Amino acid sequence: MDKIVEGKLDKPAKPKPRSETRGERVPPQGEGGFDVNWYPVCLSNDIRAGEVKGMDFLDGRVVVFRGENGAVTVMSAYCRHFGADLGVGGKVMGNEIQCPYHHWRYGQDGACKHIPIGGAIPKNARQFVFPTMEKWGLVFAFNGLEPTYQLPEFPIPADKLMYRTYGTLKFKLDIGLQITNSVDFQHLIILHGLDIEKYPNVEFHDNGMRQTGGMEWRDNMRGGGAKSVIEAQIVGSNFLVFGGDLAGINAYAVVVGTPITKEGCTYGYTIMAMPRFPESAGGEQATNTALGALERWSHALMVEDDQPIMDNISFRMDNVLHHDRYVAQMFRFLQNYPRAHPSAEYIRK
């Protein structure tokens, strides 16, 4: 506070201007579009044949429906007539979805197929349809007109694996920044208490990152010091896959998420997969038990330890050390990752 000296106010000296500035940031999703990714929309078993559900997606709304042919469609929610929400009272009619307001019907290609009142169907009476696929118990929609990459595969054939898919987790931090943890070896040592005995080779490419050579570590906090040898990859900017020998069990894990700007968060899902145990070793029941244990371990490692920090972090690169070099590369990758929003005029109200 000001002090009085000989009847006058003694003004404090003006602070000297500081030369440094805050570090760079990754623009939030929605700024310049959304990353050109395969995004999970919902669990596959949420959509049975003949069902339709409305979902918040990116900065708007979509409907997901499954036709009689079993195919799932993800399309813009607002009818191209007067904008009624197809997810509120809409009905699946065969392989088409019917608007609740005037009963216009749209096919799985998005085109209007029928107007009950009669007359010519307008040429632009077409919903936006996302490229859609189902994998690992999830429905994925691609943010683009055509997919630019394929979702990854586990190194073990799908028919040899058992998997469990968990959701929905909510992260305040963008999923791309969330999964920088996979190359933040400093944080794996200090926060998670991992004893890393061998570091992997880390290489970034146009559609992600790959770790090769095997990362060897021991979990002394939760795993009783058991040794793990894993490899990891990031696909797109929102999909982390890792696995190998996890504490003596051949297993794989996936973390994937979708930004939902309405809620200011990422909806995340995790997938745990491992080869089926033979009947002599307990079969399906034993495999399920092992998957549950792995899921609890991964949740503790990736969510319980990290989430209070990651939900409140600013994630600006103010001071970068040599130990942060791979995080800095991931940061640059995210800054340069392509964004688009071809559905913008269709999924917004």
Q: Do 316 and 22 meet the contact criterion of CB atoms below 8 Å apart?
A: yes
More confident residue, 1 or 308: 308
Q: Under 8 Å CB-to-CB from 259, ≥6 apart: which residues?
A: 29, 30, 34, 58, 174, 175, 265, 266
Residue 110 pLDDT: 98
Q: Do 168 and 260 meet the contact criterion of CB atoms below 8 Å apart?
A: no
Q: In the predicted model, what is the mean pLDDT of residues 234-257?
A: 93
Residue 224 pLDDT: 80
Q: In the predicted model, what is the mean pLDDT of residues 61-89?
A: 97
- % of residues, the chain, pLDDT over 90: 75
Residue 95 pLDDT: 97
- The CATH number of whichever domain residue 292 belongs to comes to 3.90.380.10
Rounded Cα distance, 85 and 27, in Å: 30
Is residue 177 domain-shared with residue 297, that is, in the same domain?
Answer: yes
Residue 11 pLDDT: 60
Q: In the predicted model, what is the mean pLDDT of residues 268-279?
A: 92
Is residue 224 domain-shared with residue 309, that is, in the same domain?
Answer: yes
Is residue 234 domain-shared with residue 103, that is, in the same domain?
Answer: no
Residue 55 pLDDT: 96
5 within a domain of the structure (yes/no): no
What is the rounded average pLDDT for all residues in the chain?
Answer: 91
Rounded Cα distance, 62 and 171, in Å: 21
Domain closes at, from 117, 142, 167? 142
pLDDT band at 325 (very low <50, low <70, confident <90, very high): very high
Rounded Cα distance, 186 and 286, in Å: 35
Domain closes at, from 110, 142, 174? 142
Count the residues in the chain. Answer: 349
Is residue 220 domain-shared with residue 326, that is, in the same domain?
Answer: yes
28 within a domain of the structure (yes/no): no
Residue 298 pLDDT: 79
Q: Does residue 225 have a pLDDT over 60?
A: yes
Q: Do 155 and 275 meet the contact criterion of CB atoms below 8 Å apart?
A: no
3-state helix, strand, coil in the chain (%, to 5): 20, 40, 40
pLDDT digits (tens, 9 = 90+) for 129-176: 999 999 999 999 999 999 999 998 898 888 889 999 988 889 899 999
Is residue 287 domain-shared with residue 185, that is, in the same domain?
Answer: yes
Tokens of residue 278, six digits: 């033979």
pLDDT band at 348 (very low <50, low <70, confident <90, very high): very high
Tokens of residue 20, six digits: 């440094």
C-alpha distances in Å from residue 171, one per residue of 93, 159, 265: 36, 32, 5
111 within a domain of the structure (yes/no): yes
Tokens of residue 143, six digits: 């943010």
pLDDT digits (tens, 9 = 90+) for 7-32: 555 566 666 666 567 888 899 999 99
182 within a domain of the structure (yes/no): yes
Q: Name the helix (H) or strand (E) containing 309.
A: helix 307-310
More confident residue, 6 or 312: 312
pLDDT band at 113 (very low <50, low <70, confident <90, very high): very high
Residue 222 pLDDT: 78
208 within a domain of the structure (yes/no): yes
Is residue 169 domain-shared with residue 314, that is, in the same domain?
Answer: yes
18 within a domain of the structure (yes/no): no
Is residue 130 domain-shared with residue 253, that is, in the same domain?
Answer: no
- φ, ψ of residue 49 in degrees (nearest 5): -55, 130
Rounded Cα distance, 240 and 270, in Å: 10
Rounded Cα distance, 183 and 28, in Å: 21
What sign results for the dihedral spanned by CA atoms 294, 296, 297, 299?
positive
Give the range among 77-81, 135-139, 287-291 with minimum mean pLDDT: 287-291
Is residue 197 domain-shared with residue 272, that is, in the same domain?
Answer: yes
Omega prior to 168 cis, within 30 of 0? yes
Is residue 112 domain-shared with residue 258, that is, in the same domain?
Answer: no
- The CATH number of whichever domain residue 83 belongs to comes to 2.102.10.10
C-alpha distances in Å from residue 279, one per residue of 275, 286, 288: 12, 9, 13
6 within a domain of the structure (yes/no): no
Residue 19 pLDDT: 59
Q: In the predicted model, what is the mean pLDDT of residues 241-249?
A: 90
Residues facing residue 282 across a β-bridge: none
Rounded Cα distance, 99 and 207, in Å: 38
285 within a domain of the structure (yes/no): yes
pLDDT digits (tens, 9 = 90+) for 246-258: 888 899 999 999 9
Tokens of residue 224, six digits: 């009783």
Is residue 174 domain-shared with residue 303, that is, in the same domain?
Answer: yes
**Strand, helix or coil for residue 116:** coil
Q: Does residue 4 have a pLDDT over 60?
A: no
Is residue 186 domain-shared with residue 330, that is, in the same domain?
Answer: yes
pTM of the prediction?
A: 0.91
Residue 216 pLDDT: 96
Is residue 132 domain-shared with residue 165, that is, in the same domain?
Answer: no
Domain closes at, from 80, 107, 142? 142
Residue 123 pLDDT: 94
**Range of the structural domain that residue 120 is part of:** 34-142
Residue 1 pLDDT: 47
Total domains present in the chain: 2
